[in-house]
Amino acid sequence: DQQVKQNSPSLSVQEGRISILNCDYTNSMFDYFLWYKKYPAEGPTFLISISSIKDKNEDGRFTVFLNKSAKHLSLHIVPSQPGDSAVYFCAASAGNFNKFYFGSGTKLNVKP
């Protein structure tokens, strides 16, 4: 049962433009959401997080938006850079546990 879904397996964006990665979830108990970036044969690298009491969190070029009513999460990268090319995972957790449910990932390709 996939509780966190990333419906776009891949995304291609021109350098300097905005990258928007989307994530949907089904469990209304999720209260903490994260985005990770991953290169092949490496562990995921934490990018940004947001708790359910907020609808936006910003960190440099990265902004995460949370729409609780739609159970939708998005990551905006502005401006996109070739070094951002990687697989991006969204993840969510509920309650008093560090148990994260991961989406299947979106492979971002930023073209120079």
Binding site for other proteins (CB under 8 A): 31-32, 34, 36, 41-46, 49, 51, 89, 91, 93, 95-105
Q: Least distance (Å) from other proteins to the CB of residue 60?
A: 16
Q: Which is nearer to other proteins, 20 or 48 (CB)?
A: 48
Nearest CB to other proteins, comparing residues 41 and 70: 41
Smallest separation, CB 38 to other proteins (Å): 9
Nearer to other proteins, 40 or 83 (CB): 40
- The greatest distance separating any two alpha carbons of the chain, rounded to the nearest whole angstrom, comes to 43
Q: What is the 3-state composition of the chain as percent helix, strand, coil, each rounded to the nearest 5?
A: 5, 55, 40
3-class SS of residue 95 = coil
Token digits for 44? 């995921």
Euclidean distance between CA atoms 85 and 70, whole angstroms: 28
